[in-house]
Every structure is written in C-alpha cells, then in structure tokens.
A and B are shown apart, each in its own frame.
Chain A
C-alpha cells in the first residue's frame, strides 16, 4: 500500500524557518517524481514545488522561489521542504504528492498533510 506521511509542521513566527519531511513507503520511491502542494485555510490547492526522481530537475512556484528548497533522500525514501523567511501567506496545510508514472503531470497519491501556521 502506498503511503506518504508528512511531518515537521507547526507554529512559527514570521521570518522563521521550518523543515517539512515526507516519509514514503509501499512503492519504489527513487523511481517517482515528487511534489509539494499546499492549501491555505478555507482556500484551494496550490502547487509549491517539484523534484524529479534523481533530483536533476527542480521547480518552484514564483511565490516561494529563493525561500523554499525541495530535496529528497532516495536512500531514506524521504522528501523534504526547507522553508525560510516564512510569512503569514505561507500558512497552509502542506501535502506531499507522488506524480503518476503512467500519465505524468498528476498526483496519484497524497499524504495526509501537515499544518504550517505562521503567526506572531
């Protein structure tokens, strides 16, 4: 069974940092591209970042460029998101999502999410 379990969320002050983790199991993690998607309270889904299976390609949405860093450790079956210079606009539930190998450009599995709250 495919499982994605996020952790690392919490309350942080504006300007602070957090590192999110996503532990993957039930599939060959090193073969799949991965993404982070967030959802602000009461709002819709927003794609945040992408990393290819070998980490050779990385992309970010404009609002987090220069502040967030996506990475992965295929030996540990884990995905990460280092978030720096956080603002209240970064408050959201952050989901890790596996990109489908069959079709590409879609999330076939999602984690349960971890809440990041930026507030003083």
Chain B
C-alpha cells in the first residue's frame, strides 16, 4: 500500500488531454512539501519529469504540467503522443517517515 494514492491506469487518444491525480496526507503533501513526478518507460529506470511548481528538466516539453492543492496534486498531459505511454509516479517527502514517499504509479495508455 503506497503512502500516496494514484489511479492504477488512465488512457486517452492521441492529441487528447489526461490528468493523473495524487492524493496524500497532512504529513506529506498537506504539510507543504513539494510533489514531483517521474516517468518510467517499460524496462527502464524512472526519470524525473517535472518537479515542484512546473519545473521541467531540460528536454521535457511543456505539454506536461502540474497543480497542487491541499493534500493532493495532479499531473496533466496535453496533446497526447504515443511516446507518452509509460508509468507515472508522484513523489513527495513525509515528515513522519523522514523519507520519500511515492504513489503506486499510473499506467498511461495512448
């Protein structure tokens, strides 16, 4: 059971927009800690996708955006492309656990 809660799967047609939610608690997201998102392509290591308030590492398109409110956050992907098909994980810090916490991951099907 992951500390952060994500839907197991989402899907969308090419060009459409999808969102992935991430629900936490008052010990992590609700405590003000930033939420970060990782993309994991099949058979590869996770890669940082977007962090904090819509900060993207070099090479990540602005089709990816995030929002945060209270104890939850969400990742939005617009203009879906086949290459976006992957697992997406949200992550934050938990002050009670003194460590990183992850969502269970969401499989995106395009």
Contact = CB atoms under 8 A, between A and B. Distances in A.
Nearest to A49: B99
Contact of A95 (B46, B91, B99, B101): B46
Question: Interface majority SS on A: helix, strand, loop or mixed?
Answer: strand
B70 interface: no
A108 B102 contact: no
A44 B104 contact: yes
Of the four ranges (under 10, 10 to 19, 20 to 34, 35 or more), the interface on chain B belongs to 20 to 34
Contact of A106 (B34, B44, B103, B104): B34
A60 B97 CA distance: 9
Interface residues of A, number: 24
B51 A100 contact: yes
Interface in A67-109: 95, 100, 103, 105-109
Interface of A: 35, 37, 44-47, 49-50, 59-62, 95, 100, 103, 105-113
